[in-house]
Structure 1
Amino acid sequence: MLINLIKFGCCLGVMSILIVSCEPEKGNYLFANGETDYRIMISQNADSLHIKSAEELQSYLKLISNIDFPIVNDTSPLEGSFIFIGENRYFKKFDFDYDKSILEDDGFQILTYKNHLIFLGGEEKGILYGVFSFLEDYLNCRKYTSTASIIPKRNDFFVEDINVKYSPIIKYRTLYMPDNYFQSYSDWHKLKSNRDMDRDWGMGVHTFSRLVPPETYFELHPEYFSEINGKRVPDAQLCLSNKEVFNIVLSELKDRIKKKPNAKYWPVDQNDTRGPCQCAECRDLEVRYGGHSGALISFVNSIATKFPDKIITTLAYSYSQSAPKNILPGKNVLIFLCSYDCNRSRPIFTDVRSDIFRNDFRDWRKLTDNIMIWDYIVQFANLISPFPNFHVLKPNLEYFVSQNVNMVFEQGSGKQFSEFNELRSYVIAKLLWNPNCNIENIIDDFIFGYYGDAGIYIKKYIATMHESLINSMGSLKIWSNPWRANKSYLTPALLKKYSDLFDKAESAVEKEPEFLNRVRRARLPLEFAILQIAKWNVTEELSYFENVNDQFVVKKKFQERLNNFVKLCRENGIEQLSEIRGYIDDYENSVKNFMTKGMLYHSALNKPVKSLTQVSDVYTVNGVNALTDGFLGEEYSLTHWLEFKSGTMDVIINMEHPILIDSVSTNFLRNISNSIGFPTSVELLTSNDGEKFNQIEIVKSEIDSADKENSIKTFKFFSDGKVAKFIRIKAINTKMNIKNKSMDDMAANFTVSCDEIILN
């Protein structure tokens, strides 16, 4: 553990609302001038948690005071002053206010009684949490990350009269971020760690394919799986009306519970894809119970009755987010409600863009009190992208609590780096423990403690970005890209301002390597945003390319920027930039490929384009003129891909005067997760009047089993010396080129996306 032994000022009030002090003249010195009269006492029957709590307190007090506090048990005589860790045989002689039942699982009480300091805790980790709260709130210790702590040296400490009781409102608190993989961090911040989750949960979510594996059953029993458009498919969901499916799930759960009998929560929930079964029997269930979630709850309830001593969990997510009708979740059924599609630029409770989630939440609350919120706190498409959501973290948690939710899972970036993951973890941990805490004080505490003299600039950077997002009225989604914010919180002018702030931050700590590395690590998301947004040539300054003799040449400063970004990522152990794939090596190769091939000079460059089919309002890029702006698309990014809503692209390029055509080529994207597929045919036509077109060639495309879910296909035509003024390209997606038939309604709306029409 990295420990900075520095003097620290007064407590910043992280939990000041919980502290009750009496008159200052009452009390005792816990230690002074290298001496103490106190010993730490535990029961002779103390369990491992109480022993650990005593040892943690002993260790920290040694680091703070340079004094050894002996640990003894209650076979010792009660002579002198003691720090009691939990109950012991002497408690029946004490007369003080103590009701263990109000502490529940994780609550604690810290009090002084005569010349003693007493720590009491709830049934689970309350005693340990009490010790860490004392160290933080009274002795000003901090654990900013799993490797960065502050333990201030002190010559003395006077213990005033104390009587603090606290039991958290949110009973189940867990955070999916890098630091929470370390037990010491989880314990300090009073979170369920990964180890705790593994103990509590029988398995992870999206369990249908594990409970009824398609590789085991599909070949002989396709009827166990979803029927989609009249065909059974292995890679969607289960047929929930099938009695044998119920029996298999029941048997599989029994086997798993035998192997892990102490696990309390057992997920029975949909796979992380679409495709609920469309067979007549499942449709009947949906009609009877009000939709996809009704069929799911009917199935899960039946399973739950067989395991009355367990909690069977299921997801309200994607197609199952809406609450059912005419059915109640069983008493031992827990609904995992996911705020997947909410806008993050405004609090969920007040934002019209989160109406659907709020309505669904309300409807579920009418049916059950057993709801756990699955919330999302980073941008998953680009984990490293700037994501200014600090202003909604507190109001969103307050909203969940106001709806009587006491179980929350905050999904972040897992083991991977994400923007300000250290600060975001710290703030959310504090909010989960106490949603009423002062978030501004907590942010200041972290920023000035973790970034040193650079903190003032980091704070200004965060504040400016959040203010810009709010004032722009823009949205903030968990699946997006930096270039989507180029008119809200990542405008060219703001990117320049942010860069200036980070320059000042680096200068402020240039002689302090530890702080400097933290600042440079915090700067990586800004550098990523600049690298991504510059692909759009948004300004002359913010562009990879310059035109030299009718050729697009990459600017040296962007080559250096990429090299520095990749170098810093590797030095900091940052391997992945996206939840799915997005490895740093792939990103480096992708940007280098863009530098080499990303912008192309050709005969149709900047020529006007007219579209006869409707362009998507989701991936609009620069409108139809994107097809002649010189930019080529990338395999793992939607940058520079123009999407057509109907699955058909029909566009005409006006060359403005007749020209000799040697060849025409164009690229199309396949991106299954975004419902984009290759066209099944692409046709080239030409005209001299823009009215009557002659077909030059039509190329048909069959799906290749080797095609990846993300890939690019080029269609090239040779015109044999045709002369024309108008070039027309028609691309048709007949929906037959989708290998994954489980996409259900999504498959029915597959689109085509094109990057450039290249004319030579």
Structure 2
Amino acid sequence: MKPVLSRLAALLAFFAILESGRADVILANGGKPRVVIVRQDGATAPEQAAARELAEHLRQITGATFQIQDANWTNIPERAIIIGPGASAVKFFPEVDFAKLGAEEFVMRTKGGRLLLAGGRPRGTLYAVEHFLSEQCGVRWWTPWATNIPHCATLRVPDLNVRERPAFEYREPYCFQGFDPLWKSRNSANGEAHRIPAELGGCITYKGFCHTFYPLVPPEKHFATHPEWFSLLKGKRTHERGQLCLSNPELRDFTVGRVKEWLREAPDAEIISVTQNDWFGACECANCKAIDDAEGSPSGSMLAFVNYIAERIELEFPRVAVDTFAYQYTRKPPRTIKPRPNVIVRLCSIECNFREPLDHPSNTTFLADLKEWSKICRRLYIWDYVTDFKNYVNPHPNWFVLGPNARVFQKFGVAGVFEEGAYAGYGSEMGELRAWVLAQLLWNPQLDDRALINEFLNGYYGRAAAKPIQRYLELMHAASAGYNLRCFLGKTAPHLEFKTLGEAERLWQQAEKAVAHDPELLARVRLSHLPVRYALLAHWGALRRDCWEQNGAWPVALSRKSVADEFRDIAAGVPGKLWTQLRVLNEHGLSVEDFLKPFAVDPAEEKMTLPPKRLKNPAPPADLPRNELRGTVDLQDDVAALAKAGEWAEIRPDAGASDRRAVRMPGTHSEWAFRIGAKNIPASPTGKWKVYAVARVELSAEAKPDSAAFGAGVYDNAAKNYPTEKKFRVDEAGANYRSHLIGTFTPGPERDIFVSPLSNPGVKAVWVDRIFLVPAK
């Protein structure tokens, strides 16, 4: 019985070995190499770099030193990693048709004890190695300065039969954090910006890149002699804020010559940009207008011009495509003109709502243009926008549309994607996350973008800090619901209101505390925390008022100066770590120092303690007859719309006001900065209201008693008249609150109540406690 069992055990072990050989390739065992890396005869520079990249990363993972062996295809070891296409790859993997692999396509295959990592040229093999390290070994290149390399002395590779190619031929996550060429190569980005050197596979190269009309046809050289080459605007030829006259035959031929000159200067260029200037000003001459009218869009004359150039350069430059924009006034596609096969159209999304995916109803017109361009353009590229160019460090909650948008582009057959982020320096709001996540999505849009975001947060900030940061992303996303998030943000937005920013600040404080023991992680968290501090500083006065109004807890120091000083210290960075330095705050180069200058001294009111809470249900005005107070309505300052809040009007604590709050308007203007809309004015039980402004004034020494202190009234927006209006003299107003009868009116859907100063130099400020309505008899 024992011999039978022994033979059975041996047989099972044999089959286990066979199965293991079929399923796994052991690369290292106990910190010792089990394979050699085979470099093909005739390997290109990127393929040689791929072999070195693999050997170095496997050494860091396993602790083993891997030999790189030049191929002798007659004697390839049984345990080997074969890098690149070549004779040995063909011999051991004959089922792979290497000739049909695209320039960036690759295969990962195992057979016996061998692993094949190979791809097309120039970048396919390098991508095979990078994706193997990422997908099979868990390596992550989060940023140029932050890499995650697992440590595993024994490394096995499962049975592999993978063939991949990118979803888009052109992939550019254009964020400063992603400009490093090696980082771009490792994350499969291949765009023009900060070019990848040839030894790392190079990139898709442009001659020119954008807004090239005037570089091609400089007006300083040609306008004086050829004004007809430039836009006709309002009956006059001009080069100021204009474009080119795209229908002019002589200009067309001149531009063809210039394009050829440029391409002869750049023999490696694959694309040449022939693109409109970065403003409007399309030519209005009869010939250009005739084309545009017939085509239903100025893209008609643009595409006719670009097609003309493309046709006349293709014989000399058959590998070059001519690139143009569908941007702003040219975004809508033409009715009948189609791009030639050697024309690329870059469709730009600058007008869109970036809080929502591009297939959201708020982006209907862009999606319609995308659909139509996709029907007529063989190589459609996208220029998308993923930051706030006015404020690089403003919270910009577009993180959760990056994946859906990439899938929209793929759905409509887009060939290339340029994602323009904050490009002027380190420290932009979540720039590291955007760069990495976008790089993964531009290779494969079907990846789970939420999972990618969570993976980045855990890997880059550490698991403990990732939890509150993830809650921060969700908080800002929820707070911005319904908001039209543009790439040039206005002064206010719902996610920048006090309640949200207060909670955001607390979450980032939690994140800092979670990694306080780790200087590297803490530096990453502190830099990424700055956008919330930036928003607090930028909107300090309004947020302090909102805090008072909401009886909230102020989340940072009461001293604005101390918060600004801490911002400056963090922005200065950690010595020796350039990536920790924040220098530029917007596209126009606003420096940290210039931003912080207004905060060098605390405002006087910041030295005060927090004011008392707002009173609810305050008593009616004491100066009104008691017998008139039945059925009254109290319209407090918090229901008023304030024009230019913080400048023309602002809510301030005031112990003398009925609810301890009032609107203060400086006497230097005469705007209706305090206004209560009709929707807040109920019907009167008697049909009409007597309307009182409960107000007081601050006077200067030169105040004249008979001069007008402030005005108030009711304005009918439909009829464009005043049902009642009155100006109140200085001697009627006074330093204490009084009920000033404005008049009597019938409420209506278009009738608002307003109060305004009157630009009286003797009046420092007008304070409005409330509007009080008494039924008129």
Moved more, 372-381 or 99-108: 99-108
Post-superposition offset of 1:439: 2.0
Pick from 259, 270, 291 the counterpart of residue 297 of structure 2. 291
- Indicate which of 462, 470, 476 corresponds to 1:465: 476
Could you tell me whether the CA contact under 8 Å between 1:451 and 1:515 is conserved in 2? Answer: yes
CA–CA separation in structure 2 for the residues paired with 1:154 and 1:143: 18
CA shift, 1:526, in A, is: 0.7
Tell me if 1:239 matches 2:251: no
Q: Please list the CA deviations of residues 490-537 of structure 1 after superposition, one character each: whole Å capped at 9, or x if unmatched.
A: 331222211221121111111111111111111011111111222325
- Asked whether 1:405 is paired with 2:403, we answer no
After TM superposition, the structure 1 = structure 2 runs for residues 363-378 of structure 1, keeping only pairs within 5 Å, are: 363-378=372-387
Query: Who is 1:628 aligned against?
Result: 648
- 2:575 counterpart of 1:575: no
SS at match of 1:128: helix
| Corresponding position of 2:435 | 425
Residue aligning to 2:444: 434
Q: Which residue of 2 aligns with 1:479?
A: 488
> Is the 8 Å Cα contact of residues 178 and 432 (structure 2) preserved in structure 1?
no
**TM (normalized to structure 2)?**
0.72
Matches within 5 A, 1:68-83: 68-75=65-72, 77-83=75-81
Work out whether residues 21 and 113 of structure 2, in 8 Å CA contact, stay in contact via their aligned partners in 1: no
Report the 3-state secondary structure (helix = DSSP H, G, I; strand = E; otherwise coil) of the residue aligned with 1:409. Answer: strand
1: distance between equivalents of 2:151 and 2:696? 81
Structure 1 unaligned blocks of 5 or more: 1-21, 544-554, 599-619, 632-641, 643-648, 665-685, 692-721, 727-753
Question: 1:713-728 alignment to 2 at 5 Å?
Answer: none
Contact 1:378 1:413 (C-alpha < 8 Å) held by counterparts? yes
Distance 2:377 2:216 in 1: 26
Summarize the Cα distance change of 1:363–1:577 in structure 2 as closer, same or farther, 3 Å threshold.
same
Q: Contact between 2:642 and 2:673, CA under 8 Å: does it hold in 1?
A: no
**How far does the alpha carbon of each residue in 1:40-68 deviate from its partner, in whole angstroms, 9 at most, with x for none?**
11122111011000010111111222222
Matched residue, 1:185: 183
- 1:527 paired residue number: 533
Structure 2 counterpart SS, 1:340: coil
How far did residue 113 of structure 1 move?
A: 1.6
Partner secondary structure for residue 32 of structure 2:
coil
Structure 2: distance between partners of 1:92 and 1:660: 93
DSSP 3-state at the match of 2:244: coil
Amino acid at match of 1:573: Q
SS in 2 for 1:219: coil
What is the CA distance between 1:570 and its match in structure 2? Answer: 2.4
1:562 corresponds to: 564
1:112 matches 2:110: yes
Q: Closer, same or farther in 2 for the Cα pair 1:297/1:593, shift >3 Å?
A: farther
Per-residue deviation at 1:93? 3.4
Structure 1 residues 222 and 105 mapped into 2: Cα distance closer, same or farther (>3 Å)?
A: same
Q: Equivalent residue for 1:124?
A: 122
**1:11-54 CA distance string (max 9 Å, x none):** xxxxxxxxxxx879733421112322311111221110110000
Equivalent pair of 1:181/1:415 in contact (CA under 8 Å): no
Aligned amino acid, residue 322 of structure 2: I
CA RMSD of aligned residues (A): 3.5
CA offsets, 1:350-402, max 9 Å, x none? x2221111122222223223210111111111111111112111111111111
Length, aligned pairs only: 611
Does residue 1:312 correspond to 2:309, yes or no? no
1:221 aligns with 226
Give the secondary-structure state (helix, strand or coil) at the position aligned to 1:423.
helix
Aligned match for 2:205, one of 200, 203, 208: 200
Assess if the C-alpha contact under 8 Å between 1:661 and 1:724 holds in 2.
Answer: no
CA shift for structure 1 position 257: 0.9
Alignment check: 8 A CA contact 1:266 1:312 kept: yes
SS of the residue 1:144 aligns to: strand
Q: Secondary structure at the match of 1:519?
A: helix
Distance 1:257 1:96, change over 3 A: closer
Matched, 1:332 2:337: no
Partner of 1:550: none
Take 2:547 and 2:89, find their aligned partners in 1: how far apart are those partners? 73
Partners of 2:376 and 2:701 in 1: CA distance: 67
Question: Does 2:34 match 1:37?
Answer: yes
CA distance in 1, matches of 2:731, 2:321: 70
Q: Distance in 1 between matches of 2:709 and 2:540?
A: 37
Write the distance in 2 (CA, Å) between the matches of 1:451 and 1:356: 38
Determine whether 1:256 maps to 2:262. Answer: yes
Choose the corresponding residue for 2:595, options 568, 581, 587.
Answer: 587
1:390 to 392, 395, 399: 399
Could you say if the C-alpha distance between residues 333 and 593 of structure 1 is closer, same or farther in structure 2, counting changes exceeding 3 Å? farther
Correspondence for 1:209:
214
Find the aligned partners of 1:47 and 1:321 in 2 and give their Cα distance.
41
Shift of 1:650: 7.8
CA distance in 1, matches of 2:20, 2:310: 55
Would you say the 8 A contact 2:54–2:129 is kept in 1? yes
**Alignment map for 1:265-304 (pairs within 5 Å):** 265-304=271-310
Which is higher, the Rg of structure 1 or of structure 2?
2
* SS of corresponding position for 1:330: coil
Residue aligning to 2:50? 53
Aligned residue type for 1:464? L
Question: 1:334 aligns to what SS in structure 2?
Answer: strand
1:64 and 2:61 matched: yes
Alpha carbons 2:61, 2:152 under 8 Å: kept? yes
Distance 1:333 1:226 in 2: 23
Q: Give the whole-Å Cα distance in 1 for the aligned partners of 2:143 and 2:558.
A: 37
> Structure 2: how far apart are the matches of 1:411 and 1:317?
14
Q: 1:92 to 1:168 in 2, by over 3 A?
A: closer
Q: Once the two structures are superposed, what CA deviation does each residue of 1:636-672 show, in whole Å capped at 9, x if it has no partner?
A: xxxxxx9xxxxxx9869999899999999xxxxxxxx
Quote the residue 1:379 is aligned against. Answer: 388
1:444 aligns with 2:454: yes
Tell me, yes or no, if the aligned pair for 1:290 and 1:326 is still in contact at 8 Å: no
1:358 maps to 367
Match of 1:516 in 2: 522
Deviations 1:158-207 (A, max 9, x none): 23322111112222211111232111111111001421588610111000
Cα distance in structure 2, aligned partners of 1:621 and 1:202? 52
**How far, CA to CA, are the matches of 1:590 and 1:208 in structure 2?**
40
- The CA deviation at 1:559 is 1.0
The residue type paired with residue 377 of structure 1 is: V
Deviation of 1:688 (Å): 9.0
Instruction: Look up the SS of the partner of 2:117 in the other structure.
Output: strand
Give TM-score, length-normalised by structure 1: 0.74
Gaps of 5+ in 2: 1-18, 197-201, 550-556, 574-579, 607-639, 652-664, 675-692, 713-728, 734-755, 763-777
